[in-house]
Structure 1
Amino acid sequence: MTTMFTPTEPAAASISAPLQGSESGSSSNSHMFLINFYRRYFELDSEIFLKKLRTAANPFKEMEEYRDEPLNNEIYGFIWITGTLVLMMFISTTGTNLLLWNPAHEKFSYDFNLLTKSVTIFYGYNLIVPALLYIASGWIFKFPEPVPLVHTISVYGYTNILWLPITGINFLIVLLVHVEEQKTLISILEWTIVGVSGAITCFSNLHQLSPIIKRNCLINADNNLELATRQHTLIIGSLAVAHILFTIIVKWSYFGIT
């Protein structure tokens, strides 16, 4: 755990100089096909990591300004949180079906394809949507400050922590409700918990990204509020629709009795 402090000017100079030198050296000697090029995206201490976790767990709290290095320009948290979610989704779905398995019928068969599907769905969605937003903001809407790709991936990655509680709730539903007699009730409960989790994660993502998008829309529209609002609504609405579709895919893939 690092301790944050405000250094004096001589100390600040001694600290910043090597960093600046290393960045220039990295940019001159590294490119996207070398591992060293990506090192800056994994430089994260535990204090910043925990701070971002607390922010993500509270969808009503805004993250720090995206220009603040290294607070939002890293993907270390995205990789590990999403990886944990992928594993927990697999365990939750497999464990639930194992609890419902009747050994008198047949031998239980583990579906390891579900693990591959988890990786594809969660990493795919949390990379493709930020990439599309980055492309749209830079080339279609021509934002003066295109939404940073790494920042958006970080936002989506950290809000994945809000999906984790449903992996445990899924067990409780199966344990507390009699399956044979109340399949309809289980289906309603599963749709409810997945829908609520999807709504919260969607709100959290949009809440973090909305100020950046709104600011660029106002600049593009020359402070024409009506035009800026239409553009802002279009972008936010598209992100919301994408997340709704993602939530439905999550429900069909992981929360159904097989």
Structure 2
Amino acid sequence: MMSSGGYTTIDDQKISGSVPTFPPSEAQGKISGVFRPPPDADDTFSKPAPGSSSDGPQTGGWMSRLTIGSYKPYFDVDTSDVLERIKDSLFPFKATFTEKTANNPDLYGPFWICTTLIFVVAAISAFVAYLAHKWQKKAWDYDISLVTWSAGIFYGYVSLVPLGLYLILKYFSAPSGLVQLWCLYGYSLFIFIPASCLSVVPVEVFRWVVAGVAGFTSAAFVALNLRTHIMSAGERWFLIVAGIFFLQLALAVVLKFYFFTITVGASSS
């Protein structure tokens, strides 16, 4: 072995075994290192990030996914990314959301959208009830359960429905990425934030129209973005897509009935 000019070379000689090498340098993500989410599913319609291994980190298996650091890539987005994805959720017929987020589905936007929706719905619902009682000169008390029910409904929906859909698609041999589904469903809830604010208007027909438009937009956004992928599930793909669509509409109906249907009695209801 000889060294010259600050470089080390190996003489031409037979060496048994293999020479250990260092991994090549990779493109850097926004936080640190290459974007490499934890394995999302055994088969995912999320494509691997450029320059990364499609298998992702294997050290620790499932136990590695219980660490906070393993989910850091899913929060590696900036304001422009989130705003672009919110805009896509408001124009469902483009159906390009899953293509744009295939390499980098995020949980940052869905978490804050869902959390904002919880407090907006609880606050607007309480304000609507207050106005209804005030106009009829009835006693009114704030119902703290609005916050807990709102949190249970929206956190539960955006967590469990994608999980159930993930298992169904896996059963029909059309598995999708679980985080990709969480991302899609999280952004689909954004339309309910402005819809809740518009529900302040004390006109029942107007509230139903707002709930219907919001529910249809959200349902179409989810169903159309998943349709192409679910078609690979075989003959029953239409039933799955229809179920996704009507379940999302049902969320809008629950939102209208529970939070924005006000009954004024002798005391607060």
TM-score w.r.t. the length of structure 2 is 0.72
Shift of 1:104: 5.2
Q: 1:243 corresponds to which residue?
A: 248
Within-5 A mapping of 1:5-154:
13=25, 15-16=27-28, 19-20=33-34, 27-28=58-59, 31-61=64-94, 62-65=96-99, 68-70=102-104, 73-102=105-134, 105-106=138-139, 108-139=140-171, 141-143=172-174, 146-154=175-183
Runs (4+) of structure 1 exceeding 6 A deviation are 21-26
Bigger-Rg structure (1/2): 2
Tell me, which stretches of 5 or more residues in structure 1 are unaligned?
1-11, 175-185, 218-227
Q: Do structure 1's residue 255 and structure 2's residue 260 form an aligned pair?
A: yes
Shift of 1:154: 0.9
Distance 2:33 2:230 in 1: 31
Residue in structure 1 matching 2:185, options 146, 152, 156: 156
Shift of 1:33: 2.6
Q: 2:15 corresponds to which residue?
A: none
Shift of 1:131: 0.7
Shift of 1:32: 2.8
**Aligned residue pairs: how many?**
217
- Cα distance, 1:67–1:197 mapped onto 2, change above 3 Å: closer
Larger displacement relative to structure 2 (48-57 or 21-30): 21-30
* RMSD value, Cα: 2.7
Shift of 1:19: 2.5
Distance 2:123 2:230 in 1: 37
Q: 1:179 corresponds to which residue?
A: none
Corresponding residue SS for 1:19: coil
TM-score w.r.t. the length of structure 1 is 0.75
Q: Tell me the amino acid that sits aligned with residue 241 of structure 1.
A: F
Larger displacement relative to structure 2 (39-48 or 122-131): 39-48
Shift of 1:46: 2.2
Q: Tell me the amino acid that sits aligned with residue 210 of structure 1.
A: R
Distance 2:87 2:166 in 1: 26
Shift of 1:31: 1.6
Larger displacement relative to structure 2 (186-195 or 118-127): 186-195
Tell me, which stretches of 5 or more residues in structure 2 are unaligned?
1-23, 38-52, 264-269
- Cα distance, 1:197–1:113 mapped onto 2, change above 3 Å: same
